[in-house]
Structure 1
Amino acid sequence: MIKAQTWTKDGLTRQHAHCTFNLTKKMNKGAWKMTINTNIPTEKIKLWVMKVVEHSADGKTFQLKSKYEYWPQTIDVQFRLTYKKGDIPLDGSCSSNVEPIEELETATAAAPATILASTNIIERHEWEKDGKMFMNGKCVLPIAETLNDFYIAITLDQETFGIKNWIGNTFSEDSNGRWYILKNKWTTHPPELQFTFKITFDSDTMPNGNCAILTGGNPEPPSTQNPTPAPTIPSEETTTANMVIVNSYQDNNKMKMQATCDLPIDTPLESFYILLFFTEDTSDLEIWIGHEEQADPDGRWFLVKNSHDASLPSISFPFHVRYSGSVEPSGICKLYSGNLEPITLKPTTPTTSTKQPTTTALPITSTQQRSSPITITTRPPTRLTTTTQRPTTITTRPPTSPTTTTQQQTTQQGTTTTTSPTTTTPEATTTKQSVASKYDYPKVLELSILFYEAQRSGKLPSNNRIPFRGDSALGDKGFSGEDLTGGWYDAGDGVKFNLPMASATTILSWGLSQWGDAYKAAGQLELMYDSIKWPLDYLEKCWIESKNLYYCQVADGNKDHAFWGRPEEMTYTRDAFAVSTSKPGSDVAGETVSAFASASIAFATKDPAYSAKLLSKARTLYTFAKTYRGKYSDSVPEANPFYTSYSGYEDELCLSAAMLYKATKEQKYLSDAEGFATTNAGWAFSWDEKIVACQLLLFQETGDQKYMTPVVNFIQDFMSGSVKHTNCGLAFRLKWGSNRYAANAAFIALMAADTPGFSKAEEYKTWAMSQIHYMLGDNNYKMSYQIGYGNNYPRKPHHRASSCPDMPAPCNNAQQYSPSDNPQILYGALVGGPDENDFYEDKRDDYIKNEVAVDYNAGFQSAAAGLLHFALEETLPEAPPSKC
């Protein structure tokens, strides 16, 4: 028996020990037997891989058998013995029905463990239950190689009363709970070990401390000496800013303050520190862009190290902090760069913080004015809310002074609801026009744009309207370090799939250029331009013209789908995947051309320079897609099975050429489009199949009947032909995202209805209305499949970010399978939809019916814009009655 750590607690001595055995053959559960003999009586034994079958009355002999099945290997059987310390030291031996490995106890005992890595506890969250205080903590420890055998040492600045964790067993602990040493249960792999734990404590402030990985020997008890209150900070101060107080609120009967510092920089920074000074005592700093390195015991200062690079023109540093007084503490933030050098800090004199109003229109600042402020009430910024539990409020108002107005009544889901009056300060002269319609199409547009903001990857703008989202995936890079940050996450995951992203951008841009009056009437025009610019800017980065290289995906779907958590906390390696001259991808490149070309039309009068830039990108990328032909999913296996290009690439080349002709009127593009076109009716309109869109564009541009006929046949198939309808009226093409296929077909029908030459335009409008109305409430559940519309909508979408509680609470697989509602409301998202029998269940783990995706919303949003356009023109037919 090899003895290791010994310690005393509650008057009893605890001895950690192990015996090592060599398993030369497979051992079934219970087949491996072992006996432990000690020279003195013991009170208790604790084991992990074995269980006690029988023991002597005096606790000197224990008969054990294995709890699990084992394959041939060398294995340590670790155990802990508890006994009353006397004059005779504990000793003992192990015997087994397998071969033991002899070890020199003196050599093992003498070998000290090596500290491989150490870090401060960076995330803490407390709560009270049954009169006890609990804290969740987290440490992120970098590792360079796979570790099979290691310890984790946790040192704390105050007494605690026990620890629970999920990756290690307690090896030893301090009698006062000032430190714990844990032995790993499982192997861990680079680049880091994320270690979360829960401790019990009894004080007014949460414990703080650090963690370390120990390898190579027996761990020694860590020092419990409190750290010096003076921080170690970089010597080069670059800028200082006052804290701007955004909000104060109560949290668990304690006051919290939300504030931010905006620190201008004149050069990008890869490594920096932010030092916060407060005029009053504070505690429990919550941050998102870095981690806490050091802190004053009274919370007068905190030193924060960045987690991500900072780009021009400034670092926006939001945070939350607790305080005990009746007035929020003021303070300053100092930005430092350079090497760490010790500096002793003195308390600073009080500073004046700028305070924002706590009940007002959330400010939106950019180079372009927005037309619709968001009204929020004073509360913790966990989600967008109004007094009517809606995320935003649009009101008809004059361009100069605040006005209180009441939105028109809208009949919905069999009831009449009236929006409460709201008072806002206008930020633009655009007003919302009232229209007569069964459902509130402006609200649909408003909410859908919010959903796309929730899908943003990269560094978010200062006017980010989604409180549960922050900067993420700032390290996305290409093969040669090309910047691939930005874009949209595909669905409820963290992958950027360019084929569906570009397809969604095409549909949204096409709808905007066709029905811009709808967005203007809804007060969403400027927000819509910003919405589509986000993926466009990313897609531009993906096209490396000088190398004939197009990045078509960032992150491996298999790796990503094994992770459940916030995008801001993704730690797996995010590889980039590309198509090239030798690995062609005409479909994904062609669809991106369509996105560029359609957006160049949408931006033509809004921003001519940006429009020209998009068109230039579209031209060169089209040449690449046309010259080097092939399916991207053949060249990039990682695209499978997520977005395999089943339909081939000719439909994307057809659409891209047709859209380029629409944008340029250059004959060569029309000739190409007609060469790629077919006269067969499309099976669907989706991220994969584009032929009906190409046919419709060609008819719009040429008036040739041969292109109109397949479009008519396509719409007819969805209206009353080969496509089955549910009993309540949804055109059901496929179970995966059933709403998506119906909404996309509705978009095509409305685009055809707005094109001269289609004789059944009124029927197309009515049918398209029936599909969108089904999704908004004309269904058997009288619910909206768009989250946030009305009062009855899905609460548990399959979506990682919105399933996570407010930071710093941990988010992991427990959230994926939790029966509770998502803590964050994913405003505007259209969930997958019902099955062919109208059955739908609001379950987070149902990724067929309840996932969301950027391509799900695109046709739905553009169809809503088309309906609003016809309503504004007063050419929208009477709404069809609900079939359920």
Structure 2
Amino acid sequence: MTPFKHTFITIIALVAQLLPCIQAQVQPTTTYQPPPIASGNVSSSSSSNKVNARWSQLLGNALYFYDIQRSGTLPNNFRVDWRNNSVPNDGSDVGLDLSGGFFDAGNYIKATFPLCWVVTQLSWGGMMFGKGFDDSQQTAYLDSTLRVALDWLMTASSKQDEMVVLIGSDDFYWGGDQNIPTNDRPSYTITREKPGTDVFGSCASALTSASMLYAGTPLPISTTQNGTVASLQDANYSTTLLQRAETLFDLAQSSTPQQVYQKATKGVAWAYPSTDYADELVLSSTFLALATGNQTYADYAQKTYATNQFPFPNGALNWDQHTSATPVLLTQLSIARPSMGVSMSKYQTDSEKWLDNIVNKNMPQTFTTPGGLFYFDGDSDSASLNPSLNAAFLMMVYRRMASSTTKDRGYRSFAESQIDYALGKNPMNTVYAVGIHNNSAENPQSALASGGTNPKLIDTVPAQEAHVLYSGIVGGPDQNDNYYDQRSNWEQTEVALDSQSAMIVLAAHQLTTNASDPFYTGMTEERVILPYDADGGGGGGLSTGAQIAIAVVVIVVVLGLLAGLAFWQRERLRSLIRRRRFEKYEKS
């Protein structure tokens, strides 16, 4: 076969794969736009619509956030009218068009590892609480969000035995989407020869779970009842996703050495360093067992689970650590496919070890803040709401499969306490979802939305952010419930794709179960705004008060401290957009 003929056939095959996606994509009946912020304070009972208006608004705004984060060439009549086409050359250094997808957080990198968890989480929720998406008329936007992510992941993994895991570097850029430097956006890859077991496995989970969603496969919500599936079925797309997922799982399972991806490729550990890969192997093989009915996958999942001495009764659930989710999914496998011989009672017991430790406050290295936020020491030090809402997500997924009604009620009560905290029931009276209520946080760290171009004036220019990051979930308060609403304080104010997905699933759950309005509806207390802190608020620098106190004691020491602070702050500016959420990793 000539090279030209081979290339032509390859192009035709790729187009054929994409056609089902384009033809079957769900279209909204009307274009959703976030309503005025003041509407967040209007009770749903005032509406004639039987669907809770406030949870629908939160869900709609939260999916709108993903459109804000879109990259590449945007569709005509794109609903976020202030966004522009961007980064057209992403992936060109490795011969791929990776201009699409999503910008990861407040910066402009694209990161495969956390994106895979976003897709997995949204798909998982869509197979259990799909009625919430349908009833709120947000299924079309769930579909478009998933397809943008999935199509990017399919392209990133389209070369044989290779996958792109990161685009961009830690070089600082603060500005809008039209002037993003394109000369320093390298593509980092893993291969069969230099594998990243965790990312191969995580992407297999993402594609398999999405394949099940597009196949219309429900997941159990109890030992006797299936959940509802969002109405976005597309059999051809489902098959395409599943085939790629099996290929990626083979890479994860058979490539040697099995290792975390930052050991395979230099230059990625600064952003999303991974701690392990066994959890990804168990999760991906369990999803594949659910999707295919292949006993080999179920046996592999259980063997890997046992070999690695799962379950772990502690540790957070987040973009990196999925160990606590593995027994929950295995419980669902035991219910959905009883012929596979997976012990429901074993994985129920294992699931509840982690869940009970949280509810009963017995988990090591965790505590509850004075205001009620469940805090994982280390994991919650930056983006504290992320592990809290992920814990709530897993409790809502599992609760009706629990071994007793008492546990069911306990898990839901805990989950709702964390949702309430994030949505205003906290000492700051702050709603940590942007643009949903008058008490919402107002200064999320986002180069896209801020309107500023000078990192030295990040907190003051402009005085008010140029654009609203609707329902973007900010990082969250510190261990004392203090929240400094300033852009330079990335640990507390940065938004991210993976901080969003848990809240979306939780909102869909609340809609499906006819929950009462979000906590912020009817709030009258004013938001507590802490004084501006030039040292980055919760970021760990000296407070203004402390500096004054030192000045009273000895002016010479103050001068020395200020000199040191100036240098430290200069270095801090370079790290404002770095998502170093997990500092404890072994450098390769």
Same fold (TM over 0.5): yes
Tell me, yes or no, if the aligned pair for 1:458 and 1:471 is still in contact at 8 Å: yes
For 2:68, which of 454, 460, 463 is the aligned residue?
454
Question: RMSD of aligned C-alpha atoms?
Answer: 2.8
Matching residue of 1:715: 355
Distance 1:366 1:674, change over 3 A: closer
Matching residue of 2:261: 632
CA distance in 1, matches of 2:299, 2:352: 23
> What does 1:437-586 correspond to in 2, within 5 Å?
440-546=54-160, 548-556=161-169, 558-559=170-171, 562-571=172-181, 572-586=183-197
Tell me, yes or no, if the aligned pair for 1:841 and 1:849 is still in contact at 8 Å: yes
The one-letter amino acid paired with 1:707 is Y
Tell me, yes or no, if the aligned pair for 2:37 and 2:437 is still in contact at 8 Å: no
Distance 1:539 1:778, change over 3 A: same
Aligned-pair CA distance for 1:545: 4.5
Matching residue of 1:762: 409
> What does 1:673-688 correspond to in 2, within 5 Å?
673-677=301-305, 678-688=310-320
Q: For this pair of structures, how many residues does the alignment match?
A: 463
The one-letter amino acid paired with 2:268 is A
Q: Secondary structure at the match of 2:163?
A: strand
Distance 1:609 1:564, change over 3 A: same
For 1:670, which of 295, 298, 305 is the aligned residue?
298
Matching residue of 2:581: none
CA distance in 2, matches of 1:607, 1:591: 22
Tell me, yes or no, if the aligned pair for 2:423 and 2:518 is still in contact at 8 Å: no
Matching residue of 1:434: 51
> Which digits, 9 at most, give the CA deviation of each residue in 1:40-74, with x for residues without a partner?
xxxxxxxxxxxxxxxxxxxxxxxxxxxxxxxxxxx
Q: Secondary structure at the match of 1:821?
A: coil
Distance 1:512 1:758, change over 3 A: farther
CA distance in 2, matches of 1:853, 1:527: 18
The one-letter amino acid paired with 1:850 is T
CA distance in 2, matches of 1:463, 1:871: 34
Q: Secondary structure at the match of 1:553?
A: strand
Tell me, yes or no, if the aligned pair for 1:651 and 1:691 is still in contact at 8 Å: yes
> Which digits, 9 at most, give the CA deviation of each residue in 1:139-158, with x for residues without a partner?
xxxxxxxxxxxxxxxxxxxx
Matching residue of 2:240: 613
Tell me, yes or no, if the aligned pair for 1:766 and 1:878 is still in contact at 8 Å: no
In the alignment, does 2:455 pair up with 1:813?
Answer: yes
CA distance in 2, matches of 1:830, 1:637: 30
Aligned-pair CA distance for 1:620: 0.6
The one-letter amino acid paired with 1:580 is T
Aligned-pair CA distance for 1:464: 1.9
In the alignment, does 2:3 pair up with 1:370?
Answer: no
CA distance in 2, matches of 1:878, 1:728: 15
Aligned-pair CA distance for 1:368: 3.3
Tell me, yes or no, if the aligned pair for 2:197 and 2:252 is still in contact at 8 Å: yes
Higher relative contact order (CA 8 A, sep 6+): 2
The one-letter amino acid paired with 2:350 is P
The one-letter amino acid paired with 1:765 is R
Matching residue of 1:870: 513
For 2:207, which of 570, 580, 596 is the aligned residue?
596
> What does 1:117-128 correspond to in 2, within 5 Å?
none
Aligned-pair CA distance for 1:586: 0.8
From the CA coordinates, give the structure whose radius of gyration is larger: 1
The one-letter amino acid paired with 1:434 is V
> Which digits, 9 at most, give the CA deviation of each residue in 1:474-523, with x for residues without a partner?
10125441212211111100000100111111111111111100111111
Distance 1:591 1:388, change over 3 A: closer
Unpaired runs of 5+ residues, structure 2, are: 1-14, 16-22, 217-232, 335-342, 526-588
Tell me, yes or no, if the aligned pair for 1:478 and 1:551 is still in contact at 8 Å: no
Aligned-pair CA distance for 1:553: 0.9
> What does 1:350-361 correspond to in 2, within 5 Å?
none
Distance 1:758 1:743, change over 3 A: farther
Aligned-pair CA distance for 1:389: 5.6
Aligned-pair CA distance for 1:574: 1.0
> Which digits, 9 at most, give the CA deviation of each residue in 1:500-555, with x for residues without a partner?
11111111111111110011111111111111111111000011343x11111111
Tell me, yes or no, if the aligned pair for 1:371 and 1:527 is still in contact at 8 Å: no
CA distance in 1, matches of 2:200, 2:67: 24
Aligned-pair CA distance for 1:712: 1.0
> Which digits, 9 at most, give the CA deviation of each residue in 1:436-463, with x for residues without a partner?
xxx9322221111011111111111124
Distance 1:616 1:836, change over 3 A: same
The one-letter amino acid paired with 1:482 is L
Distance 1:374 1:706, change over 3 A: closer
Distance 1:434 1:544, change over 3 A: closer
> What does 1:56-75 correspond to in 2, within 5 Å?
none
Tell me, yes or no, if the aligned pair for 1:509 and 1:602 is still in contact at 8 Å: yes
The one-letter amino acid paired with 2:26 is Q
Unpaired runs of 5+ residues, structure 1, are: 1-311, 313-364, 376-383, 394-406, 412-417, 420-430, 806-810
Structure number with higher strand proportion: 1
The one-letter amino acid paired with 2:162 is L
765-774 vs 704-713, which moves further: 704-713
CA distance in 2, matches of 1:511, 1:489: 22
Matching residue of 2:541: none
Q: Secondary structure at the match of 2:327?
A: helix
The one-letter amino acid paired with 1:447 is N
Tell me, yes or no, if the aligned pair for 1:432 and 1:523 is still in contact at 8 Å: no
Structure number with higher helix proportion: 2
Aligned-pair CA distance for 1:387: 5.6
CA distance in 2, matches of 1:787, 1:877: 14
Matching residue of 1:858: 501
> What does 1:312-331 correspond to in 2, within 5 Å?
none
The percent identity for this pair of structures is: 28
CA distance in 2, matches of 1:388, 1:479: 43
Aligned-pair CA distance for 1:861: 1.5
**TM-score (structure 1 length as normaliser):** 0.50
CA distance in 2, matches of 1:729, 1:568: 41
CA distance in 2, matches of 1:691, 1:507: 14
CA distance in 2, matches of 1:503, 1:796: 26
> Which digits, 9 at most, give the CA deviation of each residue in 1:276-306, with x for residues without a partner?
xxxxxxxxxxxxxxxxxxxxxxxxxxxxxxx
Q: Secondary structure at the match of 2:443?
A: coil
Distance 1:758 1:601, change over 3 A: farther
Tell me, yes or no, if the aligned pair for 1:372 and 1:524 is still in contact at 8 Å: no
The one-letter amino acid paired with 1:671 is D
Tell me, yes or no, if the aligned pair for 2:459 and 2:488 is still in contact at 8 Å: yes
Matching residue of 2:560: none
CA distance in 2, matches of 1:534, 1:387: 27
Q: Secondary structure at the match of 2:349?
A: helix
Tell me, yes or no, if the aligned pair for 2:32 and 2:60 is still in contact at 8 Å: no
CA distance in 1, matches of 2:38, 2:519: 29
Aligned-pair CA distance for 1:371: 4.0
